[in-house]
A = this chain, B = another copy of it.
């Protein structure tokens, strides 16, 4: 079994119009910049994939990554907990103009809904959001005298993930807090595409140190020295680059 794919372009070639795409990361930490930019390049070249629903904790920052996907017009809807950032203009302008849909989900509920999608749990109850606008229309139940909101699982067609180390079986580790949503999204997507900074032979990751077992991974692309969103934004980067 070999899940390696040699180019970013090939890795994202199967993403379809209207797809739901989970994108790993919390702000810039764990953001799979190169995979997202490969998806943008394909869209600019072919017009596809369009009308994406993007699931991430945030809604982009600056003009790279998710912000660039929105800016180039590929994104119809964002499901996130916190669509603010140091430079949220791209999302904000489209949202206020009514050009992009937003489903706002409390952060822990977002994480648990994604995990539920991956774990075959169609619904669960949480105290989070009870009695608030974000629970409106959702079933409510009482357990042991306390009120809870029923939340549904969240799945995706594709997950784009950034990992630190990976092997060709798809076993993954993550760097520090870049882990965040990635292990959950890897479980919840029909096709999980991962960029790894280091590609190792099977056995190169200690069996006890594997964070995402290969069963949750479909494609592995080697991207050494991946860009850090925060660094890109501090340097005023854009994707695609503006040529003078």
Q: What residues make up the interface of A, taking CB atoms closer than 8 Å to B? A: 112, 116, 119-127, 141, 143-144, 146, 148, 152, 173-176, 179, 207-209, 211
Contact = CB atoms under 8 A, between A and B. Distances in A.
A174 B112 contact: no
B126 A125 contact: no
A174 B210 CA distance: 13
Contact of A143 (B126, B127, B152): B152
B123 A119 contact: no
A116 B123 contact: no
A125 B127 contact: no
A152 B209 CA distance: 31
Contacts of A116: 124
A19 to B, nearest CB: 19
Contact of A123 (B120, B124, B152): B124
Contacts of A176: 207-208
B127 A124 contact: no
Contact of A125 (B123, B144, B173, B175): B123
Given A116-B124, A122-B146, 19 more contacts: A112-B119, A112-B121, A120-B126, A120-B127, A122-B125, A122-B143, A122-B148, A123-B125, A123-B141, A123-B143, A123-B148, A124-B125, A143-B152, A173-B208, A174-B208, A175-B208, A176-B208, A179-B208, A208-B209
A139 B21 CA distance: 33
Contacts of A146: 122
Contacts of A175: 208
Nearest to A173: B208
Contacts of A119: 112
Contacts of A174: 208
10 contacts: A112-B121, A121-B124, A121-B125, A122-B146, A123-B124, A123-B143, A124-B124, A174-B208, A179-B208, A209-B209
Contacts of A112: 119, 121
Contacts of A141: 123
